[in-house]
A and B are shown apart, each in its own frame.
Chain A
Amino acid sequence: MKPSIAEEELMSPGHLACQGCSATISMRYALKGLGRETAVVLPACCWTVLAGPAPRSALGVPVLHTAFASAAAAACGVKAGLLARGDSRTQVMAWAGDGGTFDIGLQALSGAADRDEDILYVCYDNEAYMNTGIQRSGGTPQGAWTMTTPGQGGSRRPKKDLDAIVLAHHIPYFATATPAYAEDMVRKFQKARSIKGFRFIHVLSPCPPGWKSEPADSIKLSRLAVQTGLFRLYEVEGGRSRLNVPVAKRKPVGEYLRLQGRFRAMTPQEEARLQRRVDEAWSA
């Protein structure tokens, strides 16, 4: 029987990630979808460390480390440089966290998307600055505890709507993914590879130390995020949006929240408000 996901492993187990890190599972699936002819650009993020110290590398594809704000711009340069060398086959993937995408890297991301550069930009969103020790980012959801939102009620502001920002750039391909839905995720990377121009994939990436969850629960959380309706799996191609994983009967958000210590201080009223917001979003 032919497996539905490529067997070839382009990521070695010798990385430095924490137990239950979804950013490593996501990279593994991403490279299975993209294949060997890929170059990865990494700004400052967890992957800076977990790719392994020099001269070792956990990835079987070339990697360029770059400054925090510059993932998209450096990736554009790599693409142009490869083309100058006569290599039009290699796919260039910028792989950045939520801090490097929602916040400090947003300008370079917007510029590259606006120019419709022929690169794939992936944000693995673990919803805070996890590499520096759990500080709030624009990707942090309302009510989540972080080291910089330590008070009662956690983060006061709702999560920034990055998808809307990226989609406002009229790009040829946009998708969301999360590792519990492995086949959906790999297919999206395969599809992204087949499209020319600026492509964006938003990956929800549970983080046990930052979410204060059990390492064994990462895939469960990844699945619950979809099943509660908090994270929607969809793709937008040529301006047309398609829901990839319809959720017939949504689970209550509490099932997702209660597996995570970062939401421990949430009141029943706040939880009810979040539930209402999810219900409204899905009925719209």
Chain B
Amino acid sequence: MKKVLMGNHAAAVGAALARAQVVAAYPITPQTQSIELLAEMKEKGAFPGAYIAVESEHSAMAALLGAASAGARTFTATSSHGLAYMHELLHWVAGARLPVVMAEVNRALAAPWSLWTDQTDSLSQRDTGWLQFYCSTNQEILDTTIMAYKIAEAVRLPAMVVYDGFTLSHSYEPVEVPAQDAVDAFLPAYRPEQVLDTARPLAFGALVPPKEYLRLRRSMAADMARAETLIEEVGREFGEAFGRCYGVFDAYRCEDATTLLVTSGAVGSTARAAVDALRERGLAAGNLRIRAFRPFPAQALRRFLGRGVKLAVVDRNYSPGASGIFAQEIRAALYPATARPPVFGYVAGLGGGDITVELLQEIWSKVDEGKAEKTQPTWAEDAR
């Protein structure tokens, strides 16, 4: 059924369709409508799961640690400072190998206060062991939420479904909402092997010696690697069931392109328009939109980018003292490649600034014409 949904509602509807059994959440702008909708559905009897209105994000994730350890399918949503406050438990849940799924609405971190989109919040959690998916439309938010459970539960790692604050969270788009029975067929009930159970009293998370710790982290690495192919498999399976296919990245008009705009999140949609405009001018432009950030699709990128094409990476995030974070990751991923494409980093739209079709065309042209700075990120401000 087609519905007009805001991004936050798409995430909540996705969690409800996935039959999340325990939700624990704390409000923060711009995430609020996602948890409000679940609370409202709960009141009306349309959402049978438990809803714990915790007193902080730290407690939200701790509650989901408990619920998932007891064997429940779990969901929460947060943003920015809320995510930062959860940080300790993000590590804990990943280390405990619990497939918690969370909607993460990108918002810039203070100081100074900002309410608007910026990916530094979620990207700064890259070492916690969570899968991270970046969405570019409200349809993709809903679909990714459902797929996230399937992938997370298969590799026993938590997953973040990330989307832009306001640009997607508060924008309404037509969204195809799948039927419950079709989702049930795609996503069977969560049946973990080990749970808190008085019939089989196990201790979870107890102290381990260094050798065991290393082995556990190594098994996490193996499952992260497995996730890279699983994301593609589940994305194809989703396509067969619902007609919309997803992969680790999304290539648009890349076939004969000389330079690719590399983007993530909502900027991906803008980049398509920029590519169309450049193509109309007879220029060989393409857009590569990265969907999976963890695991980072290094293998797939090396396979895909074997032809010496130039990359203009647009980062709506910044790691002080380094560069845009996607640019860093892409450089690291391509370093072992034989035909190593040059990577040019652009930092734009921090704190919610617009990244327009015009700005993206300018960035593309600078890189394609060989006028881009190679060693330093270029700070691109839209003068319009």
Interface residues of A (CB under 8 A from B): 36-39, 41, 48-49, 51-57, 59-67, 69-70, 72-85, 87, 90, 107-108, 110-111, 114-115, 117
- Inter-chain contact A66/B50, CB cutoff 8 Å: no
**Chain A residues in 8 Å Cβ range of B205:** 64-66
CA of A62 to CA of B206, assembled, Å:
12
A41 CA / B65 CA spacing, docked (Å): 11
- CB neighbours (8 Å) of A62 from chain B are 196-198, 200-204
Surface stretch bound by A, among B52-60, B168-176, B334-342: B52-60
Instruction: Check A85/B70 contact, CB under 8 A, given A66-B205, A74-B63, A111-B54.
Output: yes
CA distance A236 to B89 in the complex (A): 34
Partner of B52, one of A39, A69, A77: A77
Structural contact, A77 and B208, CB atoms closer than 8 A = no
Assess whether A54 is in contact with B59, with CB atoms less than 8 Å apart.
no
Given contacts A52-B206, A84-B67, 4 further A-B contacts (CB under 8 A): A57-B203, A69-B62, A73-B54, A80-B72
Considering the complex, give the chain A residue whose CB is closest to the CB of B48: A84
Q: Give the distance in Å from the alpha carbon of A66 to the alpha carbon of B98 in the complex.
A: 13
B105 within 8 A of A: no
Bound complex: CA A80 to CA B59 (Å): 14
Pair A77/B203 contact, Cβ less than 8 Å: no
A83 and B110 CA atoms in complex are apart in Å by: 39
Give the bracket for the number of chain B residues in contact with chain A.
35 or more
With A54-B206, A84-B21, A84-B22 in contact, is A70–B62 under 8 Å at CB?
yes
Contact between chains at A66 and B196 (CB < 8 Å): no
State which of B21, B24, B207, B212 has its C-beta within 8 Å of the C-beta of A48. Answer: B207
- Return chain B residues, CB-CB under 8 Å to A36: 198
Inter-chain CA distance A85–B123, complex, in Å, is 34
Q: Is B195's CB within 8 Å of the partner chain A?
A: yes
User: Is B62 within 8 A of A84, CB to CB?
Assistant: no
Tell me whether B308 is interfacial, beta carbon within 8 Å: no
B58, B66, B212: the one within 8 Å of A76 (CB): B66
Q: Say how far A190's CB is from chain B's closest CB, in angstroms.
A: 17
Query: B178 an interface residue at 8 Å Cβ cutoff?
Result: no
Contact present for A73 and B62 (CB under 8 Å):
yes
Q: List 19 A-B contacts (CB under 8 A).
A: A38-B198, A54-B208, A57-B206, A59-B201, A64-B65, A64-B69, A64-B204, A70-B89, A72-B59, A80-B63, A80-B66, A81-B69, A81-B74, A84-B70, A85-B70, A107-B58, A108-B59, A108-B62, A111-B55
* Minimum distance in angstroms from B159 CB to a CB of chain A: 18
Given contacts A62-B201, A66-B62, A66-B92, contact A78 B206 (CB under 8 A): no
B89 engages A67 (CB within 8 Å): yes
The distance from the CB of A136 to the nearest CB of chain B, in whole angstroms, is 23
A75 pairs with B55, CB closer than 8 A: no
Inter-chain contacts of A57 with B (CB < 8 A): 201-203, 206
Bound together, the chains give a CA A37 to CA B201 distance in angstroms of: 10
Known: A70-B89, A78-B69. A108 touches B203 (CB 8 A): no
Given A59-B201, A77-B22, residue A108 in contact with residue B55 (CB < 8 A): yes
**B55 adjacent to A65 (CB under 8 Å):** no
- Checking B59, B66, B88 against A111 with a beta-carbon cut-off of 8 angstroms, the contacting residue is B59
CB-defined contacts of B24 to chain A, threshold 8 Å: 73, 76-77, 80
The complex places the Cα of A85 from the Cα of B67 at a distance, in Å, of 10
Cross-chain contact B198 with A69 (CB below 8 angstroms): no
Residues of the A chain whose Cβ atoms lie less than 8 Å from the Cβ of B92: 66-67
Q: A85-B70, A114-B55, A115-B53 are in contact. Are A77 and B201 (CB under 8 A)?
A: no
Q: Please give, as numbers and ranges, the residues of chain B lying within 8 Å of A110 by CB-CB distance.
A: 55
**Inside 8 A of A81's CB, which chain B residues have their CB?**
21-22, 66-72, 74, 196
In the complex, how many angstroms separate the beta carbon of B327 from the nearest chain A beta carbon? 33
Contact with A along B143-168 (1 / 0, CB 8 A): 00000000000000000000000000
**CA–CA, A69 and B55, complex, Å:** 12
A49 to B54, CA, bound (A): 28
CB neighbours of A117 from chain B (8 A): 52
Cα separation A111 to B62 with both chains bound (whole Å): 13
Choice from B49, B52, B89, B198 contacting A90 with Cβ under 8 Å: B198
Shortest CB-to-CB span from A111 to chain B, Å, is 3
Q: Which of B49, B198, B209 contacts A39 (CB 8 A)?
A: B198
Q: Does B260 contact A (CB under 8 A)?
A: no
Contacts of A65 in B (CB 8 A): 203-206
Instruction: Please tell me if the beta carbons of B196 and A78 are within 8 angstroms of each other in the complex.
Output: yes
Q: Of B21, B63, B212, which contacts A73 at CB under 8 A? A: B63
Q: Is the CB of B65 within 8 A of A74?
A: yes
Closest B-chain residue to A117, C-beta based?
Answer: B52
Q: Is the CB of A80 within 8 A of B62?
A: no
Q: List A contacts of B55 (CB < 8 A).
A: 107-108, 110-111, 114
Cβ contact within 8 Å between A82 and B208: no
Residues of A within 8 A of B208 (CB): 53-54
CB-based nearest B residue for A39: B196
B206 contact from A53, A61, A75, A83, Cβ within 8 A: A53
Q: Does B64 contact A (CB under 8 A)?
A: yes
- Are A77 and B62 touching (Cβ within 8 A)? yes
Q: Which residues of A contact B71 (CB under 8 A)?
A: 81, 84-85
A64 touches B66 (CB 8 A): yes
